[in-house]
Amino acid sequence: MHRLLRCGLAAVMSSVVATAVLAGGATPASAEPSRGDGQRVTLLVHGFDREADTNCASSWQNARDLLLANGWTDVHTFGYYNKSTNCDIRFNGTTDTRIQEVGRQLAWTVYSSYSSQGVPVDIMAHSMGGLIAKAAIEGVNRYGVAAEAPDLSALSMDAQDVGATAWPSGWPPYLYIEDVVTLATPHKGIDTAVVDLCALTHEQCSDMRDGSGFLKWLGAQPQSQMGTDYTFLASSYDDTVSRSSATNAYTAHHWAIYNKSSTGGTLSHTAMRTTATGQWQAQWGGSKTPGGSGTYAPPLVQAMNALRSREAS
């Protein structure tokens, strides 16, 4: 399912992770990046955590290990809670920080460190993280594209507190996000009593409720300024997000629904983020993928393939 060529990405990201100086974005890149197969800068975005203390390293260890073992060199975690630990990049929000605002912080981080340099990125996201990735793109499309590219050369950013950066008001003028792969993301929201109860005390749960104002605002598959290819992976045994919601009602460019493994195993909501082994039965389809069913690669392997390949597999 997907794309790209690399261009000095390790040097770009290393400046971010070590308290980056944001290079000037006063002039847009002369042309949007070309599309192609390859291992781009990849950001890993975790999901909702009621305790707001996600350990990014352990949460994404299996995914990062898989990507690094298969030729990726620039894989970085993005966290968004003030009690999160071991995140390469962190916005110090809380469970009451609206998803749209987390998306805005992600948008500025991607723009300042990559898009303004003409460097495209990919995103792999679990659960609510997929909504954050889409919110970054949607916000730019709605509120940023008419703006003149800002000069960020005087700004510096602490990778452990990106929200403290004196970003210009509003949203960046463009983003180059080539591929987004989501694992068990509630694109259509969650309609359960558990989330209704959570919404009483956590604004992010309110945003994830079926029919919320945020979800009505959010596009189905918003396109960054170089175009964005989407892969949505779901499980029939997810105890949190329905397969219809996780595939955005089967409207993704590429979607797959996991059933049982060859040994009878099933994939829970969390296991969609951690499973890189096994032979699985699945059904698949999408606007760019012919429908089918049969044996399928495990979620993290399929996600990796989606990030690397230009076309649907």
CB 226 within 8 A of CB 178: yes
When pLDDT is averaged across residues 25-54 and rounded to a whole number, the result is 83
Query: What residues contact 197, with CB distance under 8 A and at least 6 apart?
Result: none
| Alpha helix (H) residue ranges in the chain | 9-17, 56-59, 61-69, 99-113, 128-139, 193-198, 203-208, 213-217, 243-246, 271-274, 299-308
Q: What is the pTM of this model?
A: 0.91
When the pLDDT of each residue in the chain is averaged and rounded to a whole number, the result is 90
User: What is the percent of the chain with per-residue pLDDT over 70, rounded to a whole number?
Assistant: 89
At 22, the pLDDT band (50, 70, 90 cuts) reads very low
At 28, the pLDDT band (50, 70, 90 cuts) reads low
pLDDT score of 2: 30
* Per-residue pLDDT reduced to its tens digit, 267-306: 999 999 999 999 999 999 999 999 999 999 999 999 999 9
Among positive and negative, which fits the CA dihedral 201, 239, 257, 267? positive
The full set of domains in the chain, from first to last, is 42-148+155-307 (3.40.50.1820)
Half-sphere exposure of 109 (CA within 13 A, CB side): 34
When pLDDT is averaged across residues 233-240 and rounded to a whole number, the result is 97
The answer to whether residue 312 scores a pLDDT higher than 50 is no
pLDDT score of 147: 84
* Per-residue pLDDT reduced to its tens digit, 211-223: 999 999 998 999 9
pLDDT score of 35: 86
| Residue 45 bridge partners (DSSP) | 78, 125
Q: Which of 32-36, 165-169, 280-284 has the lowest mean pLDDT?
A: 32-36
User: Amino acid identity of 100?
Assistant: Q
CA distance 186 to 305: 22
